[in-house]
């Protein structure tokens, strides 16, 4: 009762075994009494057994038959032994062909390796049990281990195995003695081939199993021709590059990188794998203060190099911070996190990213063109890992074409370059090398490393992101400008780890970026409340980013916000009031929550509400006309910080279009 | 699990459990013998009689398998079976299906090899060093003390017939196996073996075996022992001869 795995999709053919058929033919040729290999008799103590052949005869025969030299014939003979067609009578564990008078014998066809029948563990178990009987419990170590394993694995048929072993043993005893010896030798040889003792190379190593039998000729049916046609069509359609171009690329790559390849040029100070001295690794840690000169040089090769090196990325982040365009990098990192992160938090992350970067009036709004924005927003209604791919690529190219060049000319980079370390090469003597080898220690456990990483991320996140809405309250920067002025003090480094802490200041209260207030006011100014404010949002997202339609509303909002401010006396640092049309007034909500404080609000509730389809303004909806907002804000359930929630517009789009 | 006698004839014990056990045991025996016979095919001992024996053993196994299957299926589908009995029957079931699988594998191999090595056409057999036939094994399988000699002639047509029959039987066993899986639901992980992990070393004629297993590393000592014995004998003879000659010299 074998547990059959029926889900192997028919992959039972072992690919490199197509030589077996050919070998069988050769073995049969060797049998010929006239033209085959000379056979001798093996003399045992009391009996003789015929059909033994010497190694040198085999080699000679093969060399003659195939017209090859002795060395190659020997190799071929060894292959035959390794596959189990011939087995050695002495030294049975070493499956090689010795070109001397050592004796070999042909294996019976029953024990030949076969393409279509994989070797069963049940048979092996029975064999071991038989051997155990014969040798009275004296199995070799690896056999013992295997026996125990099989006993555990096939416990349910163990009684059967023991019984069968006994029966086979008894049946074997019925035979004549020489035949018994031969049979035992055959069986032993078979199992040496198929369950090689540890340390020996197995000739049966064949890789993954395939669905198609390689020995079989494929019938030329219409299916076959259809496949061939598709294959050739795809070959034709494949994009081609001139070899001069591709070779040129290779040459360029090698010239650029050759000095950085530890195989071609010596590492500085020394290659830890060769000298056991880990200075090199310490100098190249991800968060080292001063990177090495080689590392800095690598950053100049391409933007990808810069981004993939954590130290380089940190440097770039610093530069962007100085230029006040850190949101691009933050967005890019957030997208990476979404792509590579856990599936459970994907939806939340997508929402956070939208709220922080993409929504109108978002605190760290990034500049992508309308079409990409449209695609992204549409995709976000059914978020998946790669929903932000288009936007991410856009931002990446933006950074690459624009910021990267400036970075390389910037003082930040030049400073880093100046401070870069250029270590001297170590010159260890033999004795020192030995000492180094003795002092080898394992490096930090990956668990600890990961914890350190997480801590760092948390630190960065806690230090708050750059919030463009927290700028001068009296300026009205156009939202689609990537660069803002007047950052508040609090916002220091952008936080790449932003997205990992959904409850962090990702959505700073001032997020009262009330897109809600926008529509609210719009609603007020537009003709009567439409059934939902959403159309306005929908329109705005569809329209190009620069909103000409907003200014009139903006003014009123400015006024409103001012009044609000006066009324509420918000904390200075936390006021954002970028009376940009995007950013509404600080959530009139009483105290504005300063950035950096994690939102202690019922975030989950928000998220749960996030995608609620809001038809008419239900009472608990936070999208109220600004005046009444304040009162409503105080109601329970609203944030302590009176944060307005950005309602994702795809709800509208959904509703609006009537389709999903 | 007591291993009952090879003869099935007395499987008329009232207790169905015992009956099932007997049947399974005999099937195991027949399958073991079939395996021995199958290992001879294509080798130097392959002959018409071997094929004949194979066929007979096969038929016997089929018969046994059929009766066993019917018995066990009936038992296992009987809802009114006690727990203890059910466990025993399940063990028998596992043994039975494993037997059948082995048998199936052997039949496939025999079929395949039989196609390549045809006795009737006198194709070259592999010289494996086997000399005697496996008649005794077949006799054991068929529970007959003696097997009458069959004619050594087997024509191509007979062989063809044999092969096709074998093919059919393979298909049949295949069906049986599938049917078994469908009809009776025995959960493999609930079946626990009751026997010992190690088969009791049968106190067989180790001496004779030792003499023959010259090729093994362990057998080196046995070899030496026998050689030493011979050497001692010779030495003794030589000493006696010396003593005698000394006596002769002295007396003469």
Which of the residue ranges A70-84, A297-311, A341-355, A431-445 would you say has the lowest mean pLDDT? Answer: A431-445
Considering only the beta carbons, identify the residue of A45, A173, A180 that sits closest to B226: A45
A-chain residues within 8 Å CB-CB of B129?
Answer: 42, 49-52, 105-106, 178, 182
For residue range A547-557, list pLDDT tens digits in order. 444 444 444 45
- Cα dihedral A485, A486, A488, A492 sign: positive
Of A586 and B120, the one with more pLDDT: B120
The whole-number pLDDT of residue A15 equals: 62
Query: How many other C-beta atoms can be found within 10 angstroms of the C-beta atom of residue A344?
Result: 8
A334 and A502 in contact (C-beta within 8 Å)? no
Distance CA B46, CA B49 (A): 8
Partner-chain contact B101 A2, CB within 8 Å:
yes
Among B119, B181, B121, smallest CA distance to B152 is for B119
- B112 in contact with A at a CB cutoff of 8 Å? yes
Scanning B23-42 for CB atoms below 8 A from A yields 25, 28-29, 31-33, 35-36, 38-42
**DSSP string spanning A301-347?**
T-HHHHHHSHHHHHHHHHHHHHHT-HHHHHHHHHHHHHHHS-STTHH
Class of domain A12-117: mainly alpha
Q: What distance, in Å, lies between the first and last C-alpha atoms of chain B?
A: 74
The whole-number pLDDT of residue A331 equals: 93
Partner-chain contact B198 A129, CB within 8 Å:
yes
Confidence band, pLDDT 50/70/90 cuts, at residue B167: confident
Q: Nearest residue on chain A to B201, judged by CA atoms?
A: A133
Of A114 and A527, the one with more pLDDT: A114
A631 and A648 in contact (C-beta within 8 Å)? no
Distance CA A332, CA A407 (A): 17
The nearest CA of chain B is from the CA of A79 a distance in Å of 18
Annotation: CATH topology of A291-419: Regulator of G-protein Signalling 4; domain 2 (1.10.167)
Token pair 């050592």 is at which residue? A102
The whole-number pLDDT of residue B138 equals: 82
Give which of B24, B98, B116, B204 to mutate to test A binding, by max A Cβ within 10 Å: B98
B-chain residues within 8 Å CB-CB of A122?
Answer: 98, 101-102
Give which of A160, A176, A185, A188 to mutate to test B binding, by max B Cβ within 10 Å: A160
- Helix (H) or strand (E) segment spanning residue A19: helix A19-30
For residue range A361-401, list pLDDT tens digits in order. 888 888 889 999 999 989 988 888 899 999 999 999 999 99
Residues making up chain A, counted from first to last = 660
Considering only the beta carbons, identify the residue of B42, B199, B208 that sits closest to A109: B42
B125 and A39 in contact (C-beta within 8 Å)? no
Among A254, A311, A274, smallest CA distance to A425 is for A274
The nearest CA of chain A is from the CA of B18 a distance in Å of 16
Token pair 């048979």 is at which residue? A123
The nearest CA of chain A is from the CA of B136 a distance in Å of 6
Q: Residue ranges of the domains in chain A?
A: 12-117, 291-419
Partner-chain contact B33 A105, CB within 8 Å:
no
Judged by DSSP in three states, A405 sits in helix
Q: Is the pLDDT of residue B49 over 70?
A: yes
For residue range B59-89, list pLDDT tens digits in order. 899 989 889 888 888 888 877 778 888 888 8
Considering only the beta carbons, identify the residue of B109, B128, B139 that sits closest to A106: B128
Give the mean pLDDT of chain A: 74
Q: Which two tokens stand for residue A322?
A: 């100085």
Q: How many inter-chain contacts (A to B, CB under 8 Å) are there? A: 216
Of A35 and B147, the one with more pLDDT: A35
- B188 in contact with A at a CB cutoff of 8 Å? yes
Partner-chain contact A157 B194, CB within 8 Å:
no
- The interface pTM score, or ipTM, of the predicted complex is 0.75
Considering only the beta carbons, identify the residue of B28, B36, B127 that sits closest to A31: B127
Query: How many other C-beta atoms can be found within 10 angstroms of the C-beta atom of residue A25?
Result: 9
B-chain residues within 8 Å CB-CB of A2?
Answer: 98, 101
A404 and A351 in contact (C-beta within 8 Å)? no
Judged by DSSP in three states, B138 sits in helix
Scanning B212-241 for CB atoms below 8 A from A yields 212-216, 218, 223, 226
Q: Is the pLDDT of residue A227 over 50?
A: yes
Q: Which two tokens stand for residue A196?
A: 């090689």
Q: Is the pLDDT of residue A282 over 70?
A: yes
* Global confidence as pTM: 0.52
Partner-chain contact B214 A184, CB within 8 Å:
no
- B6 in contact with A at a CB cutoff of 8 Å? no
């Amino acid at each position: 009762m074998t547990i059959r795995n029926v889900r192997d999709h028919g992959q039972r053919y072992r690919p490199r075994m197509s030589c077996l058929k050919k070998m069988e033919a050769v073995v049969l040729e060797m049998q010929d009494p006239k033209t085959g290999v000379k056979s001798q008799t093996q003399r045992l103590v009391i009996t003789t057994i015929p059909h033994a052949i010497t190694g040198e005869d085999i080699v000679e025969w093969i060399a003659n038959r195939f017209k090859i030299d002795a060395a190659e014939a020997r190799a071929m003979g060894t292959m035959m032994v390794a596959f189990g067609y011939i087995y050695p009578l002495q030294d049975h564990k070493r499956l090689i062909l010795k070109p001397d008078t050592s004796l070999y014998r042909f294996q019976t066809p029953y024990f030949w390796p076969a393409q279509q029948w994989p070797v069963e563990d049940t048979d092996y178990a029975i064999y071991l049990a038989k051997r155990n009987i014969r040798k009275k419990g004296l199995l070799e170590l690896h056999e013992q281990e295997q026996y125990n394993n099989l006993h555990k694995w096939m416990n349910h048929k163990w009684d059967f195995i023991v019984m069968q072993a006994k029966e086979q043993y008894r049946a074997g005893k019925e035979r004549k003695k020489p035949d018994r010896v031969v049979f035992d030798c055959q069986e032993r040889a078979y199992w040496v081939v198929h369950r090689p003792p540890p340390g020996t190379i197995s000739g049966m190593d064949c890789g993954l199993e395939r669905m198609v039998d390689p020995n079989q000729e494929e019938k030329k049916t219409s299916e076959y021709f259809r496949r061939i046609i598709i294959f050739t069509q795809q070959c034709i359609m494949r994009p081609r590059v001139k070899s001069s171009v591709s070779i040129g690329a290779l040459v360029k790559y090698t010239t650029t990188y050759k000095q950085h390849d530890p195989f071609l040029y010596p590492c500085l100070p020394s290659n830890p794998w060769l000298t056991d001295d880990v200075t090199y690794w310490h100098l190249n840690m991800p968060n080292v203060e001063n990177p090495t000169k080689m590392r800095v040089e690598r950053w100049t090769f391409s933007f990808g190099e810069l981004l993939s090196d954590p130290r380089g990325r940190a440097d770039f982040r610093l530069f962007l911070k100085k230029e006040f365009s850190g949101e691009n990098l933050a967005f890019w990192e957030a997208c990476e996190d979404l792509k590579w992160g856990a599936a459970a938090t994907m939806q939340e992350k997508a929402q956070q990213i939208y709220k922080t970067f993409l929504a109108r009036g978002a605190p760290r709004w990034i500049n992508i063109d309308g079409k990409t924005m449209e695609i992204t927003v549409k995709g976000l209604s059914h978020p998946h890992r790669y929903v932000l791919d288009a936007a991410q690529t856009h931002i990446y190219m933006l950074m690459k074409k624009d910021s990267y060049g400036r970075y390389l000319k910037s003082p930040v980079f030049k400073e880093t370059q100046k401070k870069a370390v250029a270590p001297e090469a170590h010159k260890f003597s033999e004795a020192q090398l030995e000492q180094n080898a003795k002092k080898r220690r394992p490096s930090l456990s990956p668990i600890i490393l990961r914890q350190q990483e997480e801590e760092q991320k948390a630190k960065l996140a806690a230090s708050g992101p750059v919030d463009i809405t927290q700028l001068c309250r009296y300026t009205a920067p156009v939202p689609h400008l990537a660069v803002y002025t007047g950052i508040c003090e609090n916002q220091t480094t952008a936080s790449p780890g932003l997205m990992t802490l959904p409850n962090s200041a990702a959505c700073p209260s001032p997020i009262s970026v009330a897109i809600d207030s926008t529509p609210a006011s719009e609603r007020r100014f537009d003709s009567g409340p439409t059934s939902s404010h959403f159309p306005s949002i929908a329109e705005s997202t569809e329209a190009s980013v620069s909103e000409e339609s907003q200014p009139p509303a903006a003014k009123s909002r400015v006024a409103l916000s001012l009044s609000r401010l006066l009324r509420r006396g918000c904390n200075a640092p936390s006021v954002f009031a970028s009376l940009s049309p995007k950013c509404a007034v600080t959530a009139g909500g009483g105290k504005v929550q300063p950035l950096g404080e994690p939102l202690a609000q019922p975030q989950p509730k928000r998220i749960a509400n996030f995608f609620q389809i809001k038809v008419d303004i239900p009472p608990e909806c936070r999208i109220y006309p600004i005046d009444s907002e304040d009162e409503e804000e105080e109601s329970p359930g609203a944030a302590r910080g009176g944060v307005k929630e950005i309602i994702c517009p795809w709800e509208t789009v959904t509703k609006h279009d009537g389709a999903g | 699990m007591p291993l009952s006698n090879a003869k099935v004839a007395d499987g008329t014990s009232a207790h169905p459990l015992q009956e099932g056990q007997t049947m399974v045991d005999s099937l195991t025996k027949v399958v073991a013998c079939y395996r021995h016979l199958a290992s001879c095919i294509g080798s130097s001992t392959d002959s018409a009689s071997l094929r004949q024996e194979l066929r007979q053993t096969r038929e016997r196994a089929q018969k046994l398998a059929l009766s066993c299957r019917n018995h066990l299926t009936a038992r296992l589908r009987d809802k009114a079976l006690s727990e203890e009995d059910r466990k025993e029957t399940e063990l028998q079931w596992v043994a039975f299906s494993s037997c059948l699988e082995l048998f199936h594998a052997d039949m496939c191999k025999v079929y395949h090899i039989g196609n390549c090595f045809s006795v009737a056409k006198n194709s070259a057999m592999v010289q494996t060093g086997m000399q005697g036939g496996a008649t005794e094994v077949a006799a054991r399988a068929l529970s007959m003390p003696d097997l009458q000699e069959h004619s050594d002639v087997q024509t191509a047509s007979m062989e063809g017939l044999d092969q096709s029959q074998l093919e059919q039987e393979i298909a049949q066993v295949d069906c049986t196996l599938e049917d078994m899986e469908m009809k009776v639901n025995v959960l493999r992980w609930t079946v626990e073996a009751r026997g010992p992990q190690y088969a009791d070393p049968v106190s067989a004629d180790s001496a004779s075996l030792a003499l023959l297993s010259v090729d093994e590393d362990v057998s080196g000592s046995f070899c030496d022992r026998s050689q030493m014995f011979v050497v001692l004998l010779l030495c003794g003879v030589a000493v006696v001869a010396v003593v005698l000659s000394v006596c002769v010299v002295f007396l003469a």
